[in-house]
Structure formats: structure tokens, C-alpha cells
Amino acid sequence: MIDFFTKRRDIVIDLGTANTIVCLEPQGVVFNEPSCIAIERKYGSDKVVAIGSKAKAMRGKTPEKLKVIYPLSSGAISDFEMTKTFMGTLISGLLGRFIFKPRVGISIPQNLTPVERNSLYEATLLAGAKEVVLIEDPFSAAVGAGIDISSSRGRMIVDLGSGLTEVSIISLGGLVASKSSKVAGDSLDMAIVEYIKHHKSLSISKDMAEEIKIKLGNIENPSHEERMSAKTKDLIHGLPVSFEISSYEL
């Protein structure tokens, strides 16, 4: 315990459309929750009620004065003020564990403007970081995969996120070429929703579709069939029913 409070630690944050992941040295991943924030508007000002899973659980169940916001959309920051608030709340909670201010690395979308980058940088410093490093997604993905980004050999990085798929070529620590598409994880979820609607006459939520995708979407061994059972609502009669779907159908 004494060692934890006296030695400086590094924090790395992957700011994603659907989920934000925080890795804290030496524990590893300490936060892997939805990139959403619940805000209560009271007396003309905003108060943070919850972030992450707690905020997501409030979605669709909140009074009018309380809003659940996803500040990122399709791999880009759609509500920058809420993104800063989300990051500030997250980082402040983590930095409260430290006596010495740690360094913070943040993996960010490539399309952030210089103004947005500077604002995120300043917000992280204000939250209590000693030093902030902003890392573009292709490079953080490459380092995470154990790729030497300083090599002269070209490397292709495919980053399939929730709202955006990015394909990048990196070499000698720089970005050679990059293309992006909005056909990504969310698109796969909606395809599963539509498949079950048209082939089974059943209605499922996007969250259930994501659960099916994670459990049955096996690209490493497609010949191995897995099955999953779930409960939902019949579109014809409106009654709760159980259904089964296999990985072959996906």
C-alpha cells in the first residue's frame, strides 16, 4: 500500500465511441465502461450524477431534468463540452488515489481539431495530471499489439470500433495513409437486429444484439458452431418468447 502511494504511476486512457478503457500501472485495466455521462440540470448549471455503467443504466428511466449523454459518435467527438466533463470526472476519480501527480496518455480519434486537442489537454491537466500525452488511435493500437512503430517496414492497422472503422498504414513512427468508414460495430449490431426482425419476427434491443455479436461472432474458428438462447418480444402477438440463434446464422 505504501509503495502504491509513493511511486509515480502512469495512466493510459482509450477514449472510444461506446466504451472507455483505463489502464493503470501496475494493476492493468481498472475501468472498462460505456463512454456516457448522466447530467442533472439544476438552477441553470449542470451537475454530474454518474458516468460509465451507472449512467448507462439510467438511460430511458430518467426524469426530464436528468439527461444521459454519449458525447462521442461515429468515432468523433460530437459534444466536446460533455467529453471534457466526462474525462475530467473520470480522471479526477483516478487521480484521487495518488499523492504524486501521474502522467496521463490519451488515445484520441485522428479527426480532432487543434482546438479540441488543446482543450482536452488542458482539461486533463486541470483534473490533476502532471503531464499529458495525446496519442492518435492507430499508434496506440499498434503499440498495444506489440508492433514496433519506429520500424521502416510499413504496417497496416485495422481498428474496428463501435462507430468507426479505421485502416491506417504507419512507418517510421508516422502516418503514411489512412481511410475510415462508418461501417463498424454499431452497424453489425443493427444488422443483427434487422436479421432477427425479418427472419424470426422478433424484436430485440441494440444491447441484446451486441451481446449476441460478442458471444457468437467468432472469426477465428468459423467452422465451430455455438448457440445462444435469449428472451424477447414477439412482433406478431406482442408476447414474451424465448428464441435461439447460432453462430452460423451470423
Q: Which domains does the chain have, with CATH numbers?
A: 2-35+70-141 (3.30.420.40), 36-68 (no CATH), 148-181 (no CATH), 185-246 (3.90.640.10)
For residue 26, which of 13, 9, 14, 12 has the smallest C-alpha distance? 9
Q: What is the pLDDT of residues 226-239, one digit of tens each?
A: 888 888 877 777 77
Outline where DSSP puts E strands in the chain. Answer: 10-15, 19-24, 28-34, 37-42, 45-51, 66-69, 72-73, 76-77, 103-108, 131-136, 155-160, 165-171, 174-181, 202-203, 227-234, 240-246
Model's pTM, two decimal places?
0.71
Residue 96: the pLDDT is 63
Residue 37: the pLDDT is 92
Q: What is the pLDDT of residues 66-109, one digit of tens each?
A: 888 888 877 677 788 888 888 888 887 776 656 677 788 888 87
CB 179 within 8 A of CB 188: no
Q: What is the pLDDT of residues 199-224, one digit of tens each?
A: 888 888 888 888 888 888 766 666 77
End-to-end Cα spacing for the chain: 47
What's the mean pLDDT when you consider all of the chain?
A: 81
